[in-house]
Structure 1
Amino acid sequence: MSILVDGDTRVLVQGITGRVGRVQTQYMLAEGTQIVAGVTPGKGGTLEQGVPVFDHVADAMADVDADMSLLFVPPAVAEAAATEAIEAGLRLLVLITEGIPVHTTMRIRARVEAAGARLIGPATPGVITPEGCKVGIMPARFFQSGPIGVVSRSGTLSYEVSAQLSAAGLGQSTVVGLGADAVVGTDVVDLLRLFDADTETEAVVLVGEVGGNQEERAARFAAHEMHTPLVAYVAGQCAVTGVPMGHAGALVREGSGTVTDKINAFETAGVQVARSPGCVVEAVQSLMSSPT
């Protein structure tokens, strides 16, 4: 099994004819992802790599039955594009776009929540269920199907950790890029809850980083509600207070958000902490070989 997407997921791509959208559509199709429609205003009636293109999401939904929208759109139109998808009835949005203002993201998230939908991102590499469905920009060669769930605040670290898991024969059920901005659409606890309910996910790896309190909330959830074994790695040991570490959300503020804070929270909760990406495999193997 998996979470969020699988081999039956029917994907609509907003911004399919743009430079990034076109290239990533090619890669997704090569992995077997069912892309049933694309949307680019002014390009309706054309085809992009065999995928029908429409001017508006509502037009597409009148002709095809999509389950979710993947958005490759500029920051200035992200809110309008997301709203269009929500109003057309789509209930899963994966927003790849970086550079969206915080208040814009907050408005998008509020609309998504009011509609009972789910938003992954912004500033996410996407979601992949290996050998089933790739939605976003994740390089498929790093992933293989298996029982380990991965949720990560960092795109590249999700690739690194998954590649090492794959090399050790520990494939992934689903890998989710939470999004690197300070405000994102889905809380890490919601994703852990989905993995915990997935009967074929045998362990979960959480790749965190400095800034915010997502990891602390995850630790509390792991301590009191989660049954699936969890391994955590927190990036940013050299982070300097007040300086963003590559991501808008990776910012240590005075008195909170440090690696030490997060590691302490996990260890207090009884979560096994990997001290480097290279230690994740050993930690997962240790948990999976332990008697339950």
Structure 2
Amino acid sequence: MEKFDIFKTLEGDRNDSDYKKKPVVIQGITGGFGSTHSRLMKAYGTNVAAGVTPGKGGQDFEGTPVYNTMAEAVRATGAQISGIFVPAPFFLKAAMDALDAGIKLLVAIPEHVPIRDSIKLVDYARSKGARMVGPNTAGVIIPEVMKVGIMPAQPFKAGRTAVFSRSGTLMYEVSFSLTSRGFGQRIGIGIGGDPVNGTNLIEAFELVRDRPDIDSVVVVGEIGGDAEEQLAQYIIDTSFGKPVVAYIAGRAAPKEKRMGHAGAIVYGNYGSAESKVSNYAKACVPVAKRPAEVPALLEQKMKK
């Protein structure tokens, strides 16, 4: 199967003289959450071409047409990107409808999605040659071009660093610190805080490893699970060629207590901050103690 190119799906060829921004469909556009963030996405420059709310087809949301089904919306717009803002109980059906309609990138915002539903969607997306980001994600942003998600615009500035984060708010904070020190971002991806991710950290690294327009990666992790440990081994095994700097949230969290995210639970040493820092050290990835330290570590890593 051809390797999924998230940049081609999101932005196409911006050097093309006939360049037009890629259309995005928002599922749940008429809901309180979906409508608020659709406004913000449009204000940022995202081409929100259509919305879908069953039973409200034929209406429009502030000039954006609303359809009953994803099949109708995709037929009308040619969209390959969907932002899903529906409540968790309706997520599985909404996502399946999107993939069946030809969507290639699903950005799944809802939290509290049942793990069984996430597992089904990851497999189904793979069978369709598509990719899901999330669930429980802040979304995806290409700074100064477009965003599909709930992240604020202010922290992000166009540049050459990729930021991958298990935490939404920490993605904003770390990106702001990077921007303040002159490190703009080529892409930001919210991995999501759930135990099952449509795009995990290793897959996110694979999306950017061969791109000449990305010269560094910042990864924001947290206690719980073994995503960071697996990523460290991947960096070692593949001799990942770009400088990588990390931050891990939850160092002071009590052991065996779940924090805000479903994936952020530690059992003994498994998933602990110490385990993650130790494994990153083996991969020569420096770990910041505070988000504000990330740019200084990246500067040192880039000089080396």
For normalisation by structure 2, the TM-score amounts to: 0.92
**Contact 2:10/2:81 (<8 A) preserved:** no
1:5 Cα deviation after fit? 2.6
Matched to 1:270, the amino acid is: C
Identity percentage over the alignment? 40
Deviation per CA, 1:252-290: give whole Å up to 9, x if none. Answer: 023300000000000011112222212101011112222
Which residue of the partner structure matches residue 227 of structure 1? 241
Residue 265 of structure 2: which of 237, 247, 251 is its match? 251
Matched, 1:23 2:32: no
| Residue 10 of structure 2 is aligned to residue 5 of structure 1 | yes
Distance in 1 (alpha carbons) for counterparts of 2:198 and 2:128:
13
For residue 135 of structure 1, what is the aligned residue in structure 2? 148
Q: Could you list the runs of 5+ residues in structure 2 that have no partner in the other structure?
A: 15-20
For 1:112-261, list aligned pairs within 5 A.
Answer: 112-225=125-238, 226-261=240-275
Shift of 1:224: 2.5
Q: Which amino acid aligns with 2:254?
A: V
What is the alpha-carbon distance in structure 2 between the residues aligned to residue 23 and residue 51 of structure 1? Answer: 13
Q: Kindly indicate whether the alpha-carbon contact (under 8 Å) linking 2:139 and 2:150 is maintained by their aligned counterparts in 1.
A: yes
Q: Which residue pairs with 1:279 in the alignment?
A: 293
* Equivalent residue letter for 1:204: V
- For the 8 Å contact 1:5–1:127, the answer to whether it is kept is no
Partner of 1:70: 83
Q: 2: distance between equivalents of 1:5 and 1:265?
A: 33
Aligned AA (2:295):
V
Q: Which blocks of at least 5 consecutive residues in structure 1 are unaligned? A: none
Q: Is the 8 A contact 1:5 1:128 kept in 2?
A: no
Task: Quote the Cα distance in structure 2 between the aligned partners of 1:239 and 1:183.
Answer: 22
Q: Which moved more, 1:127-136 or 1:5-14?
A: 5-14
- The aligned length equals 290
The secondary structure found in structure 2 opposite 1:252 is coil
Deviation per CA, 1:172-206: give whole Å up to 9, x if none.
Answer: 00011000111111121010111212211110000
Cα deviation, residue 131, structure 1: 0.5
Kindly provide the CA deviation profile for residues 142-163 of structure 1, in whole angstroms up to 9, marking residues without a partner as x. 1000111100000010000000
In structure 1, what residue type is equivalent to 2:252? C
| Backbone CA RMSD of aligned residues | 1.4
- What letter corresponds to residue 107 of structure 2 in structure 1? V
CA distance in 2, matches of 1:87, 1:125: 24
- The separation in 2 between residues aligned to 1:113 and 1:18, in whole angstroms, is 29
Moved over 6 A (4+): none
Q: For the residues of structure 1 that align with 2:184 and 2:58, how far apart are their CA atoms?
A: 40
Which residues of 2 match residues 35-114 of structure 1 at below 5 A?
A: 35-114=48-127
Please tell me whether the aligned partners of residues 149 and 201 of structure 1 are also in contact (alpha carbons under 8 angstroms). Answer: yes
Q: Alpha-carbon deviation of 1:2?
A: 7.8
Q: Per-residue CA shift, 1:209-254, capped at 9, x if unaligned?
A: 0011110111112123211111011111112222111111111023
Equivalent in the alignment of 2:17: none
AA matched with 1:117? A
TM-score w.r.t. length of structure 1: 0.96
Cα distance in structure 2, aligned partners of 1:9 and 1:283: 35
Higher relative contact order (CA 8 A, sep 6+): 1
Q: Deviations over 1:86-109 (max 9, x none)?
A: 100111100000111111211122
